[in-house]
Amino acid sequence: MSFEESLSFTPKFDANGLVTVVTIDSASGQVLMVAHMNHQALAKTIETGQAWYWSRSRSKLWRKGESSGHTQSVVEMLVDCDQDAVLMTVKQEGPACHTNRKSCFYRRINLQADDKTSLQFV
């Protein structure tokens, strides 16, 4: 049986011990955020049903909503074909972004051929 057809969960962490996580809203399907998990964050997420991440900027484990109250309850977790990325569907309580927006993806990139690429709020 090929790795891609295996039912064994064996996530491939990068050289920093992290796996990328794309988090989407279970109600709307909107992408809320992209973050990272180390082994401990992944294990705590599976164990508790609450989203835990690894903060690369602060070098620490954190539970989504521990300071803001804007928690994420896990509905489903999927892993990609080579198990180096996770797609997590959550029930989001309050805004997902630290800017107090529903999603971290709130600016569109305006592509222009003259090197004057800019952003637009959406």
| Cα 54 to Cα 15: distance, rounded to the nearest angstrom | 14
Task: Look at residue 102 in the predicted model and tell me its pLDDT.
Answer: 97
Task: Look at residue 71 in the predicted model and tell me its pLDDT.
Answer: 98
**Other Cβ atoms closer than 10 A to 104:** 17
pLDDT by residue, tens only, the chain of 122 residues:
687 888 999 999 999 999 999 999 999 999 999 999 999 999 999 999 999 999 999 999 999 999 999 999 999 999 999 999 999 999 999 999 999 999 999 999 998 767 778 899 99
| Cα 77 to Cα 48: distance, rounded to the nearest angstrom | 13
Taking the whole predicted model, whether its pTM rises above 0.85 is answered as yes
What tokens does 72 get? Answer: 């994420």
What three-state secondary structure class fits 50?
Answer: strand
Task: Look at residue 1 in the predicted model and tell me its pLDDT.
Answer: 62
| Cα 70 to Cα 64: distance, rounded to the nearest angstrom | 7
Task: Look at residue 118 in the predicted model and tell me its pLDDT.
Answer: 87
- In this structure, which CATH number among 1.20.1050.10, 3.10.20.810, 3.40.50.300, 1.10.150.130 belongs to the domain 3-95? 3.10.20.810
Is 54 within 8 Å of 43 (Cβ atoms)? no
